[in-house]
Structure 1
């Protein structure tokens, strides 16, 4: 939490922090944006004012703002000022595995679903290979558009072998992970993922309200349970301006 006195950031919190000053200022400004103190479209105070409020040099402030710009949280308009952009729905490590529902809710937004459908279809060659089943075996195919605060942000295609779900698959609440665990005692333990940038997809782009000049981020995953059994093959098409993934790399 950022302590403010008469609308001014408490300098004591920054001056007593042992991290580099630019990093402290960066985290404080990120919190201002995510908490809504600086809402989307908000024009940031001048460099002089922010430097004074944070008790840091303009050079240090510029370094923090450079990172904010790289994070797609602010945008500079020449001769006009610096403004807060619409924040991404998710900013998380790609090594973390959780449902789209949880990803949206972690950002304080409401997850929803539209265009929901379930069909029983024969598995094509690629689906059979991914799920380790025979070609033409029956699978459930679930198509959904996931929303954040009512805005379409992900188009999801999920395939599950019919043989795994003995009681059948019905319409379910937002989280498929949660539904499988609660109703079938199936817990997703890990996933193998491919991240594929694509320029256009005729179905996904339309469902997400994107034109032919808007790119998409496709996350293809095969999810496994604790017994290394392939449970779920999913293709998730993300709006790239609403999701930001990063990878933590360690020196070896």
Structure 2
């Protein structure tokens, strides 16, 4: 990676560096997951100070175009495999399939247990009522993209919990006759070290930030049905929200 031109604008040097690197990434001149030279080398090639370079890199990282790992280096981010709006409530299976990829599941665990105090409070149930806790990694074309934890009260399951299809929404509707109508959601950035999410999603660092989507799902009669915590890989899924001015 050699930059032929020196940047001598004394007033806004970091903006010039920022634009140059951004353009190189967006044009494909810098490839996905390509590693940058060290800050010392990069600053010398651009003809700027390391503090100026760091300001440009900080903004590029905020924009999601690069990833910086302490002790490892700086890399061009991978383009997200999945892009979706958040206005429509659809299953993760449908979200993946809409991108033309095959939805899959691995590392599935189903445990019949009692809810924690937090889980019972969120689902508006007694701590003495049992739940099924379902943990699994969802894949898109065999690549891990989401780590899911779902809690379903045992009272909704007629017999033993037999989850043989990919979509939990489909299972609830087809096998249990429960239609999920809407969900109340919280979006929270968290460190990937929580619940060792970085291992489950094959992330490079436990210090990566993942997007946690916590949702309480309701049926068409406003009954809370199940509570989910979905940890999305930051470099594989991108969400957007359309906001309209009233």
Q: Deviations over 1:153-209 (max 9, x none)?
A: 110000000011122311321100011111111111000000000123142222112
CA distances 1:70-101 after superposition (whole Å, capped 9, x unpaired): 986x88xxxxxxxx974423222212110111
- Please identify runs of 4+ aligned residues in structure 1 that moved more than 2 A: 84-87
Q: Distance in 2 between matches of 1:98 and 1:171?
A: 18
Separation of aligned partners in 1, 2:77 and 2:118: 39
Matches within 5 A, 1:4-83: none
In structure 1, list runs of 5 or more residues that go unmatched: 1-32, 34-39, 42-69, 76-83
Q: 1:121, 1:139 within 8 Å by CA — same for their partners in 2? A: yes
Q: What TM-score, normalized by structure 2, do the two folds share?
A: 0.67
Aligned residues, how many? 184
For structure 2, the residue ranges without an aligned partner over 5 or more in a row are 1-27, 33-61, 67-75
Measure how far apart 1:212 and its partner are.
Answer: 1.6
Partner of 1:204: 197
CA distance in 2, matches of 1:168, 1:193: 28
Alignment of 1:10-159 (within 5 A): 86-159=78-151
Higher relative contact order, structure no. (Cα contacts within 8 Å, ≥ 6 residues apart): 2
**Cα-Cα RMSD:** 2.9
User: Structure 1 length as normaliser, TM-score?
Assistant: 0.66
Q: What is residue 229 of structure 2 aligned with on the other side?
A: 235
The match for 2:209 is: 215
